[in-house]
Amino acid sequence: MAHLKSFRYILLFGWALSLGACQTPTFKPLPTVTLLHIGLSPTLDWIRPHMNLCTQPQAGLGLLVDPLPAASMDPSQADILFRWGAPAELKGQADVIGWDELVVIVHPLNPIQQLTLADLQAIYKGKQPSWKKLNAPDPTVTGEIAAWGYSDGDDIQQIWQTLLASPANPANLTGLAPNPTAMRQIIAGQVQAIGYLPSHWMDRSVRAVPLVGIPADMLRLPILAIFQSEPKGAQRSWLLCLQESIKP
């Protein structure tokens, strides 16, 4: 009897296997992914994590982010372009999604207390080559000023030249930083150096110098999203999320 019961189990098991073999497996279709092509100025590279965060709630939306020099940006290059400050000639439409402030930086050991626009113009036009006069009565740093800038194609450099009301003369510069990260590292490593950053790139490795006599609207510039046609649906939701995410 026990042998018969065992045989019955074997029959049932074999029947289940044969039934499973006759069934056609079903596969769920993969979700359709729409790529949002982004052109991003290196000045705004700090917003990449915010972009990725805002992509997560948007089902089926993916990002393709290309670094693009601000000077050569054209709305036909991507779905949305991001740059700091308004270009001389705006192609397409633009939304302001945030703001950032231009900050002049020096090495933490430089005792300079403040700078005026005239000081900055003199430094970057080669008319003020030494820290000695600027740092009186505390001439801790007295050597030659190492003035750093960016290439003409960068949005931050365009903002700087507008502030100084003159184009940069490479002959007056110690060198050109390729991006804000490099600028911060350069100034942090040279006691006699001076440079400038968007405030979002600041950390304790450098010190911001108070600027006096300069209108706030010359230092506080918009972060722009530029496009040929108004984003809709998931793309619009993503852009609104990004705007909210980068608020201070």
What's the confidence (pLDDT) of residue 5?
46
> What is the structure's pLDDT at 24?
61
- Whole-angstrom distance, CA of residue 171 vs CA of residue 105: 21
Q: Which pTM was predicted?
A: 0.82
Residues of the chain with pLDDT under 50: 1-19
- Give which of 199, 159, 195 is closest to 178, Cα–Cα: 195
Write down the pLDDT at residue 11: 40
Domains of the chain, by residue range, sit at 34-100+221-245, 101-220
Residue 23, Ramachandran bin (φ over 0: left; ψ between -120 and 50: alpha; else beta): beta
Q: What confidence score (pLDDT) does residue 72 get? A: 84
pLDDT, residue 34, reads 83
Is domain 101-220 classified as CATH 3.40.50.720? no
What pLDDT, on the 0 to 100 scale, is given for residue 248? 80
221 Cβ contact partners less than 8 Å away, ≥ 6 residues apart: 84, 85, 86, 99, 100, 101, 102, 159
Residues near 127 by beta carbon (within 8 Å), at least 6 away in sequence: 121
Q: How is 129-142 classified by DSSP, letter by letter?
A: -BHHHHTTT--S--
| The domains spanning 34-100+221-245 and 101-220 adopt the same CATH topology | yes
How many other CB atoms sit within 10 Å of the CB of residue 201? 20
* Exposure string over 216-227, b if 16+ CB within 10 A, otherwise e: eeebebbbbbbb
Task: Quote the pLDDT of residue 166.
Answer: 79
Q: What confidence score (pLDDT) does residue 26 get?
A: 64
CATH number of 34-100+221-245: 3.40.50.2000, 3.40.720.10, 3.40.1180.10, 3.40.190.10? 3.40.190.10
What is the structure's pLDDT at 172? 83
Q: CB–CB of 194/141 below 8 Å?
A: no
Tokens linked to 182: 């490099």
pLDDT score, position 158: 93
Per-residue pLDDT reduced to its tens digit, 144-163: 899 999 998 899 999 999 99
